[in-house]
Amino acid sequence: MAQKINQLLNKRQVILLSFMFFASLFAGCTSSIVDGNVEIPERKWTYRNHISTPVVIKDSAKAYNIYFKLRHTADYHYANIFVLVHFKDGKNIITKRYQYRLAKNDGEWLGSGSGNLFSYKLPLLTNHHFAHTGNFEIEIEQNMRDNPLVEISDVGVLVEEVK
C-alpha cells in the first residue's frame, strides 16, 4: 500500500514539474517589453488627449514589432480610423499618419468582440530596429474629423521582440 502511495505521489510530482516546466517555457516566450492601454475618459478621444507610452530599449541589435491597440464600442460611427503616431528618441521626432480599416463593407467589425467592445492589434512598425539603446516614446493622437471622437474605449501600444 505504501509503495502505491509513493508511486502516486511520484506521478503527481512528475506531472506538477512537467506543468511548471512548460509554463515557464510559455512565459519565457513572452517577448513584449511594453504592453499598455490607456482608458479614454467618457469614451471621447479628443485631439489634445495624446496617448504617450515610454519604451526602454536595451538591445538595439534586436528587431521589434510595434502595434497600435484600440478598443471601441459597437456604436463607433466609422469603418476606419486615422491616427498620427510620433516616434520620439529624445532628440528626433518622426511622425507618421496611419489609416486602419475597422469594419467590412457590410458593417461587420473586423476586431475581436467581447460584448459591446471590439479590440484590435494593428501594426505600426514590423521588424523594426531602433537606432540606439535608451529611452524612447511613442505618442498616438487621433486624426479624424470629429473632435471628440466618440465611442473609443481605450488606446494602447504593444512593443515586442521579434523571435
Residues 19 and 37 in one domain: no
Supply the Cα-derived Rg of the chain in whole angstroms.
Answer: 21
What's the pLDDT at 114? 79
Residues 94 and 114 in one domain: yes
Q: Is the pLDDT score of 93 beyond 80?
A: yes
Rounded mean pLDDT, 157-161: 98
Residues 41 and 102 in one domain: yes
Q: Is the pLDDT score of 159 beyond 80?
A: yes
- Give 27-75 pLDDT, tens digit per residue: 344 467 999 999 999 999 999 999 999 999 999 999 999 999 999 999 9
Residues 77 and 13 in one domain: no
Residues 121 and 49 in one domain: yes
Residues 72 and 109 in one domain: yes
Q: How far apart are CA 98 and CA 85, in angstroms?
A: 8
Residues 15 and 39 in one domain: no
Residues 26 and 82 in one domain: no
Residues 25 and 36 in one domain: no
Confidence band of 1 (pLDDT split at 50, 70, 90): low
Rounded mean pLDDT, 137-145: 98
Domain extent at residue 92: 32-161
Do 135 and 56 touch, CB atoms closer than 8 A? Answer: yes
What's the pLDDT at 24? 38
Q: How far apart are CA 65 and CA 53, in angstroms?
A: 15
Q: Is the pLDDT score of 22 beyond 90?
A: no
On the 0-12 / 13-18 / 19+ scale of CB atoms within 10 A, 72 is buried
For the entire predicted model, the pTM comes to 0.80
Instruction: Indicate the number of domains in the chain.
Output: 2
Q: How far apart are CA 109 and CA 47, in angstroms?
A: 24
What's the pLDDT at 32? 78
What's the pLDDT at 148? 98
Residues 4 and 62 in one domain: no
Residues 58 and 42 in one domain: yes
- Give 97-138 pLDDT, tens digit per residue: 999 999 999 999 999 997 899 999 999 999 999 999 999 999
CATH number for the domain spanning 137: value is 2.60.120
Q: What is the sign, positive or negative, of the torsion defined by CA atoms of 114, 125, 163, 52?
A: negative
Residues 78 and 119 in one domain: yes
Q: How far apart are CA 60 and CA 89, in angstroms?
A: 13
